[in-house]
Structure 1
Amino acid sequence: MPRQSISFSKPNDEWLKAQIDSEEYSSKSELVNDLIRQARKQQVHIDWLRVKLENSERSGFTNDSKEEILKQSKSLLDG
């Protein structure tokens, strides 16, 4: 696995240490990797919404009901 050296602001470093101290994570590396995985997953959702919005803007209207749109959004978030 590639190694990186990064610097954290004091508040961020203290937050990372608190997560380790609470035994939620075993190391800063594990925590940072998990945060990156979460951000990547969130980006997939953002990209999906962006495409939906762009398609909606081009079409003018959708035939999907509010309930259908909400169901699709929740389904994507549940992954």
Structure 2
Amino acid sequence: MLIKGTIRKTLTFTEQQDKWIKAQIEAGEFTNESEYVRHLIRSDQARNSKFVQLKAAIQAGIDSGVSERTIPEIMKEVEERMKADERL
């Protein structure tokens, strides 16, 4: 029985990969192969989301251009911000 909104896929694994998946299930980490594969996809989605956010932040920095401030001025601002956030 398929859950509404799900799509059945056929996947092919090497013997070594199949043994690994079965070992994860036998260790009690997952109840079945589908659960393990969905876990891998969710993990990849989360990692990719963080990567996309990082790329956007890097691009924003590049797009902001060259700063007119000196390194000591920048460091002072960072220090003040960290003190305000109680990280320093």
Is TM > 0.5 for Structure 1 vs Structure 2? Answer: yes
Provide the residue aligned with 1:24 in structure 2.
29
Provide the residue aligned with 2:49 in structure 1.
44
Q: Determine if the alignment matches structure 1 residue 6 to structure 2 residue 11.
A: yes
RMSD after superposition:
2.5
Q: Which has the larger radius of gyration?
A: 2
Distance 1:25 1:61, change over 3 A: farther
Higher relative contact order (Cα pairs below 8 Å, separated by 6+ residues): 1
Which runs of at least 4 in structure 1 moved beyond 2 Å after TM superposition? Answer: 60-68
Deviation at 1:60, TM superposition (A): 3.8
**Structure 1 gap ranges (5+):** 69-79
Provide the residue aligned with 1:73 in structure 2.
none
Scaled by the length of structure 1, the TM-score of the pair is 0.72
* Amino acid in the other structure paired with 1:32: V
Distance 1:61 1:33, change over 3 A: farther
How many equivalent pairs are there?
A: 68
For residues 52 and 8 of structure 2, the distance between their equivalents in structure 1, rounded to whole angstroms, comes to 29
**Percent of residue pairs bearing the same amino acid type:** 26
